Structures are given as structure tokens and as C-alpha cells.
């Protein structure tokens, strides 16, 4: 079963519905013991980095998420959830992240003619192969909504998208993965990514 972390920030219903569509049992939970023993964990997120980290810390779910990651349980962060995996963010100040991946999150600075947030459909450019994208072709379009992006993350960089400059679209290091875009809003391509994720188990990466 795939566990979706409920810490008060995220598209929980859309994500659970997408997993149901591909036949994957899921559980939305804020119970740390459940997260630590899950087959797979998804960390969603929308909104501000600082607020999300405060909620993870105050709820005690930060420890549950990091413990699951350290045990080798496949963990995928989505949108803000991916950004939380890094060491820190510079969104309205400097804020500590989960530190599960090397790198930091900074504002998108691109061609002034391009609107921020980066919102809508954009294509993926893969930098290396990974099981998470076994069903996804290079150039596939997925749905983004973000004003900040991960930088200095070459160790985990998996895919980029172009928006005046290359933006980090996906990352992976061992059992820890992240998608800046929303698979649950990305049609058949997104469902294919979720299908690949739910095939992963502890020790498979």
C-alpha cells in the first residue's frame, strides 16, 4: 500500500483518486507509525515552504518521513513536497528543509517576458534513466505550478524542463525521488509515472 502524508498541505484527494484509477490501494494518514511501516510514501505539498516545514515539525511527521527514507522505503515528493526534500529554501527568507537530498530551492529567475509562476504543461528532458520514468518518453508533457525551483542538485538531477532557462523537473537518489510537476494532474503520462512508482518496494533501488 502507498501512504500519502497528510500534514495539512497538499492535493490529497486528487492524488488518492489517481492511485485508485491505477488500482493502487492508498491511505491518507497523519500517523507517524503508519508512515514508518508503509510500502511506499508520497509527500505532497502546495503553498509556502516555511509553513509546510512548520507543520511537519509541529506534527512530528518530519521524523516519520525521514525514518521511512532512511529505512529504504521508496519516498516521492511532489511539487512543494519535492522541494522539502532538499537542505534549504530561500522562499521569503532562509528555511531548513528535510536534508534528504543535496541542494537548495531558489526563486525562478528567467526571461522577464515569461510569467511567474511557471504554470501549465511543459515537456520533460531526461538526464539519465530511472525506474520512475520507465513508462515515460523523453519530451512527454506534464503539468507544473511553481515559482521556485531546486538548484545545485546535480547529484540527484533526473529531468529538466525549459522555461527560458532549464528548471529542475525531477530528482532521484536511491529510494528518494521528487517531481516538481504534478503527476496527478498530468493525464496518462502522470498515471504512467505513478504506476512505475507503485512497482517500487523497499530495497528495490
* Catalytic annotation, residues: 79, 182, 184
Distance between CA atoms of residues 24 and 81, nearest Å = 20
Buried b or exposed e, range 160-169, using 16+ CB within 10 angstroms: bbebeeebbb
Partner residues linked to 159 by β-bridges: 126, 170
In contact, 132 and 193? CB cutoff 8 Å: yes
> Which strand ranges, in their side-by-side order, compose the sheet holding 104-107?
95-96, 88-89, 104-107, 148-151
Amino acid at each position: 500500500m502507498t501512504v500519502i502524508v497528510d500534514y495539512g498541505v497538499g492535493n490529497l484527494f486528487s492524488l488518492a483518486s489517481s492511485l485508485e484509477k491505477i488500482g493502487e490501494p492508498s491511505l491518507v494518514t497523519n500517523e507517524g507509525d503508519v508512515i514508518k511501516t508503509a510500502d511506499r510514501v508520497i509527500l505532497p505539498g502546495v503553498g509556502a515552504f516555511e509553513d509546510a516545514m512548520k507543520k511537519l515539525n509541529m506534527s512530528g511527521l518530519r521524523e516519520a518521513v525521514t525514518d521511512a527514507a532512511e529505512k529504504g522505503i521508496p519516498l516521492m515528493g511532489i511539487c512543494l513536497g519535492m522541494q522539502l526534500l532538499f537542505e534549504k529554501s530561500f522562499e521569503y527568507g532562509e528555511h531548513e528543509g528535510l536534508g534528504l537530498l543535496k541542494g537548495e530551492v531558489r526563486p525562478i529567475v528567467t526571461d522577464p517576458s515569461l510569467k511567474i509562476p511557471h504554470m501549465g504543461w511543459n515537456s520533460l528532458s531526461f538526464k539519465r534513466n530511472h525506474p520512475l520514468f520507465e513508462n515515460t518518453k523523453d519530451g512527454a508533457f506534464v503539468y507544473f505550478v511553481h515559482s521556485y525551483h531546486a538548484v545545485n542538485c546535480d547529484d540527484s538531477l533526473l529531468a529538466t524542463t525549459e522555461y527560458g532557462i532549464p528548471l529542475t523537473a525531477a530528482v532521484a537518489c536511491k529510494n528518494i525521488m521528487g517531481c516538481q510537476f504534478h503527476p496527478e494532474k498530468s493525464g496518462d503520462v502522470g498515471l504512467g509515472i505513478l504506476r512505475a512508482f507503485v512497482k517500487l518496494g523497499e530495497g528495490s533501488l
